[in-house]
Amino acid sequence: MPSDSSPQRELFTNRPAWEEDDVRNGVIATVVLPEGVEKPLDYLVPNDLVAEVEPGRRVHVPLGKGNRRRLAYCVAVRHGELPQHPLKSVVGVEDEKPLLSERMLELTGWMADRWMARRGDVLEAVLPAGVRLRRQVKRVPLLVSTGEQGNRRPTKNQKKILDAASHPIPFDELLKVTGVSRGVVHRLLKAGLLLESGSIERDTQTESVNDGFVSDELPVLSSDQEKALEAILQPLQQGEHETVVLFGVTGSGKTEVYLRAVTETVANGKQAIVLVPEISLTPQTCDRFRSRFGKVAVLHSHLTPAERHTHWREIAAGRVNVIVGARSAIFAPAPRLGLIVIDEEHENSFKQATSPRYHARDVAEWIARKEKVPLVLGSATPSLETFARCLSGDWKMCRMPGRVGGSELPAVLTVDLRDRKARSKGAISPRLAAGIEWALNAGGQVMLLLNRRGFATHLQCKSCGHALHCPQCALGLTLHQPGNRGICHGCGLVTAVPESCPSCGVQEIVHRGTGTQRLEDQVRSQFRGIRVARMDTDTMRTRGSHEKTLTAFRKHEIDLLVGTQMIAKGLDFPNVMLVGVINADAALHLADFRASERTCQLVTQVAGRSGRGPRGGRVVVQTSTPEHPAMRAAAVHDYEAFVQSELPIRESLLYPPFGSVVRIVVRGAVNDAAADWAKYLVQRLTKSAQENDTIRILGPAPAPISRIRDRYRWHLQVHGPDPEMLRNLVRRSTAGLKTPKEIAWIVDVDPVEML
């Protein structure tokens, strides 16, 4: 009998090499969890799921010692050798097909690195909630007449319904065409004279087009418009990427250039994405694009999850060629992308305020480069970052210095509020009041900008000087009417304004400062009989309120419109003859290096709403610092003069666009604890950067708004010429940190606000 070491025995005890290779190899899926674990995790893909697990789909995986089932994004799949330690296995697949393309997965990885964000946060931001939650798309029943009436003679309204339903027709369209109530339809269904013949997905894109924009003949382009269009069409036709900046004064016809470029894109069988900064601009922009292209997908935050899901499916299927929306519309899954347009590219709303803190302009450039399509940025007041890219030759700038149709830019009158003769009891100076009378008497309309909502901006005791503050924030309460409510604009706390001072007990609480509510009241009392409306966050909360108010203003059902910055940009109302800026200094002296830039942009933009019609217009700017470069430039419509004065200051301080900034904000319930953690971060950063004299670390210091929602805030800034160097420094310095439970901190790369 042979021993165990004999060759014959080895044939049965040793596994063949190919079998061992099979054991050591397998299919591995790399997944990212939406929350919790930050780093990607590897899981083994069972044989029965190999065909279903692929990048872009979501999968179910076990996590932790208890193997809790978690939903995760599959970002990569590879075939290869298994690690020495055993891998847990994927236990299920959530989606029938990938929700994210390979290009979009690559984008999320780049975004996570660029803005130092968790990739799970990026993936959640890219996919709308309606898509992630698979909200049911609205379906509408199709109704059709049976053609049988029996012995019954239909009423007049019933006959309308039966005639209109001779062929299958959607329920809501049937009501719209006939003007008959739902009850009549339901009675016909009950009687068997109408039948349901299936259903259709309700297409939420094909809303009515505003008649004010429909035109059979296209306007003749000016020479500046033709040059700008040619600059866009050249890379478009050659299938190349180029970033083209349209630097055109307000009313120079930038939108018409966008429309022509999109027309060419669609004619080539491609899709176009058009971004606008404000929801208030979306209805007007959509009307302009629907009048040319019919079906337009709309993506913004006022849509329901089901509506977003509908649009997403239509775009991904290639059934809609034009996508219009706010910041997140840049992630629209257009399979045939041919053009990206960002209107009013300078707006801060293109920067996400929560993680991931991305900027839509940078994301758009990345996508446009990868897809080899043109990126068009338009503004009368381009950001200094954009201007610098054009001056360096990276981007191409097309200047459009004149208004279309031969109309002139409005004259700007500056009212120096330091002059006693210029003051009045209310917010409207005598000079502005005279301008309002002039415009209204001429049959024109008026827009008044005040970037402070509420009735009174602060509440104070006249006797002892005590100011009423939010108990949770380092902010004063703003008086809102009706109801005599004190509201904190930091945390949203609402409280009743006390009759007597909490400090001294005297009943002398006075209301100081002017918000849009008080301005509206003053206008109504000073100019009796005129039709007034207000546009701010308080009045525009309900769905469709922006569109309703702007439509009424366009139809001249409103004579005077009071509003915050949402009325300052992109709106085209030819009948506006006067624009008044109530307090141009409102944000000029904030603790933010972009304060001057924003003020110049805001005043220039709102001034451009005036004088677009044949009767011309005027602008009245009330300010206490008319000598400031931002005010001087806005007063003569010379934004480039401001840029030339501001760029050397930025360069000397190594601020953007000549350097990069990473801001870290620390929050804590205890002020000393937040301060100590901020100091600790500075120590680690300083130690890591000690051999690099190009990096500057500022702080820590209390944030300009030092407390919000009962959390004290400290911040610090890291400056340097190389953005990648700064990010690597922050990563090295914070790697492995165990944050105390009572502390939270965030990293904001290239912040747009410093409060």
Per-position DSSP letters for 169-214, written without gaps between them: EEHHHHHHHH---HHHHHHHHHHTSEEEEEEEE--TT-PPPPGGG-
Residue 365 confidence (pLDDT) above 60: yes
Give Cβ neighbours of residue 697 (< 8 Å, ≥ 6 apart). Answer: 682, 685, 686, 689, 716, 717, 718, 719
**Percentage of residues in the chain with pLDDT exceeding 70?**
92
> Average pLDDT of 419-445?
90
Question: Confidence band (pLDDT; 50, 70, 90) for 209?
Answer: very low
Residue bearing the bigger pLDDT, 15 or 451: 451
Between the alpha carbon of residue 657 and those of residues 288, 321, 652, the distances in Å are: 34, 35, 11
Largest CA distance in the chain: 122
The predicted pLDDT at position 139 comes to 64
> Average pLDDT of 241-247?
98
Residue with tokens 């004299």: 693
Residue 112 confidence (pLDDT) above 70: yes
Dump pLDDT digits (tens) for 70-104: 999 999 999 988 888 889 999 999 998 999 999 99
Give Cβ neighbours of residue 220 (< 8 Å, ≥ 6 apart). Answer: none
The predicted pLDDT at position 484 comes to 86
Q: b or e along 735-744 (b: 16 or more beta carbons within 10 Å of the residue's beta carbon)?
A: eeeeeeeebe
Task: Look up residue 668 and give its amino acid.
Answer: G
The predicted pLDDT at position 282 comes to 62
Residue 147 confidence (pLDDT) above 80: no
Residue 1 confidence (pLDDT) above 80: no
> Average pLDDT of 630-635?
93
Q: What is the Cα gyration radius of the chain?
A: 31
Residue 183 confidence (pLDDT) above 70: yes
Dump pLDDT digits (tens) for 335-349: 999 999 999 999 999
Give yes or no for a contact between 537 and 494, defined as CB atoms under 8 angstroms apart. Answer: no
What is the C-alpha separation between 285 and 280, in angstroms, rounded? 9
Question: Confidence band (pLDDT; 50, 70, 90) for 215?
Answer: very low
The pTM for the full model equals: 0.85
Residue 216 confidence (pLDDT) above 60: no
The predicted pLDDT at position 165 comes to 82
> Average pLDDT of 118-135?
87
Question: Confidence band (pLDDT; 50, 70, 90) for 149?
Answer: low
Beta bridge partners, 743, equal 668
Residue 380 confidence (pLDDT) above 90: yes
Q: What is the dihedral of CA 448, 454, 458, 460, to 10 degrees?
A: 120
Phi-psi region of 269 (alpha: psi -120 to 50; beta: other; left: phi over 0): left
- Could you tell me the domains of the chain? 11-98 (3.40.1440), 139-201 (1.10.10), 221-405 (3.40.50.300), 409-457+513-649 (3.40.50.300), 660-749 (3.30.70.600)
Residue 358 confidence (pLDDT) above 60: yes
What is the C-alpha separation between 704 and 710, in angstroms, rounded? 15
The predicted pLDDT at position 425 comes to 75
Dump pLDDT digits (tens) for 293-324: 888 888 877 777 877 888 888 899 888 999 99
Residue 9 confidence (pLDDT) above 80: no
The predicted pLDDT at position 23 comes to 56
Helices within 375-515 (DSSP H only): 384-391, 430-441
Tally of residues, the chain: 755
Residue bearing the bigger pLDDT, 649 or 215: 649
Among 99-113, 502-516, 661-675, whose mean pLDDT is lowest?
502-516
Among 202-211, 299-308, 406-415, whose mean pLDDT is lowest?
202-211
Number of alpha carbons in the 13 Å side-chain half-sphere of residue 155: 7
Question: Confidence band (pLDDT; 50, 70, 90) for 450?
Answer: very high
Residue 205 confidence (pLDDT) above 60: no
Dump pLDDT digits (tens) for 158-182: 888 888 887 788 777 788 778 888 8
Residue 396 confidence (pLDDT) above 70: yes
The predicted pLDDT at position 206 comes to 38
Dump pLDDT digits (tens) for 539-568: 887 777 888 888 899 899 999 999 998 887
**Percentage of residues in the chain with pLDDT exceeding 90?**
57
Q: Are strands 478-480 and 458-461 parallel, antiparallel or unpaired?
A: unpaired
What is the C-alpha separation between 356 and 724, in angstroms, rounded? 17
What is the C-alpha separation between 32 and 38, in angstroms, rounded? 8
Beta bridge partners, 746, equal 665
- State phi, psi for 638 to the nearest 5 degrees: -120, 75
Q: Is 87 helix (H, G, I), strand (E, B) or coil?
A: coil
- State phi, psi for 293 to the nearest 5 degrees: -120, -5
What is the C-alpha separation between 560 and 568, in angstroms, rounded? 14
Residue bearing the bigger pLDDT, 585 or 363: 363
What is the chain's mean pLDDT, rounded?
Answer: 88
Dump pLDDT digits (tens) for 681-706: 999 999 999 888 899 999 999 999 99
> Average pLDDT of 709-722?
95
> Average pLDDT of 421-437?
88
What is the C-alpha separation between 629 and 600, in angstroms, rounded? 8
Tally Cβ neighbours within 10 Å of residue 167. Answer: 9
Helices within 628-735 (DSSP H only): 629-635, 639-653, 671-688, 723-734
Dump pLDDT digits (tens) for 31-76: 999 988 889 999 999 999 999 999 999 999 999 999 999 999 999 9
Residue 150 confidence (pLDDT) above 70: no
> Average pLDDT of 613-627?
90
Give yes or no for a contact between 367 and 107, defined as CB atoms under 8 angstroms apart. Answer: yes
Dump pLDDT digits (tens) for 459-504: 989 888 889 999 999 889 999 988 889 999 888 889 899 888 988 9
Among 206-215, 694-703, 742-751, whose mean pLDDT is lowest?
206-215
Give yes or no for a contact between 105 and 123, defined as CB atoms under 8 angstroms apart. Answer: no
The predicted pLDDT at position 178 comes to 84
> Average pLDDT of 126-152?
73
The predicted pLDDT at position 17 comes to 47
> Average pLDDT of 441-467?
90
